[in-house]
């Protein structure tokens, strides 16, 4: 299945995501978001974003992204109201885009096939696609990395038609 794994994001939405994640770090903590859209035979297509602190104003209080069950209840209600699904999550790290032990052990969406994206350097520009960490959740706390030179196979940042 991983050879068909793809996430399409329109460039304006990607630029908004990167800019907002950077702004929401307030220069001293991680920030994150869920990308919402549709899943189909041609992969996932992101159409909007909901930021962790919109689901829980205290999501960044510890310095890293932490969400509890009530934030997920709000997420599922938001998705249902829009008729969308979570197609990926994204968050920033202060240095590189490698998964932390906490990231590996605590997937935001613990379903096989979920895509987690990590932006390096607190999303300071420029954020190059090859510098972004892209991780596919395999289940049972196992992941497959798709970043670096392989990132373009999964993360497709597209100009509007």
Count structural domains, the chain: 1
Give the range of the structural domain holding residue 18, as residue numbers without chain letter: 2-158
Structure tokens at 130: 């090859």
**Residues 1-52 pLDDT 10s:** 344 799 999 999 999 999 999 999 999 999 999 999 999 888 999 999 999 9
DSSP reduced 3-state for 97: coil
Structure tokens at 104: 């590996």
DSSP reduced 3-state for 140: coil
Q: What is the CATH number of the domain that holds 140?
A: 3.40.140.10
Task: Name 51's Cβ contacts closer than 8 Å, sequence gap at least 6.
Answer: 20, 21, 24, 31, 32, 33
Percent of the chain with pLDDT over 90: 88
Cα dihedral sign for 23, 50, 18, 98? positive
């Amino acid at each position: 299945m991983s050879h068909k794994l793809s996430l399409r994001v329109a460039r304006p939405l990607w630029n908004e995501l990167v800019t907002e994640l950077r702004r929401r770090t307030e220069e001293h903590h991680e920030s994150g978001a869920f990308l919402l859209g549709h899943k189909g035979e041609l992969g996932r297509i992101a159409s909007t974003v909901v930021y962790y602190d919109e689901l829980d104003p205290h999501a960044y209080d510890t310095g890293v992204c932490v969400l509890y069950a009530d934030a997920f209840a709000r997420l599922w209600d938001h998705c249902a109201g829009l008729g969308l699904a979570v197609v990926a999550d994204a968050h920033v790290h202060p240095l590189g885009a490698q998964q932390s032990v906490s990231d590996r052990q605590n997937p935001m969406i613990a379903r096989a096939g979920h895509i987690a994206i990590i932006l390096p350097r607190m999303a300071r520009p420029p954020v190059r696609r090859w510098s972004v960490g892209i991780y596919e959740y395999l289940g049972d706390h196992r992941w497959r990395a798709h970043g670096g030179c392989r990132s373009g196979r999964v993360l497709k940042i597209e100009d509007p038609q």
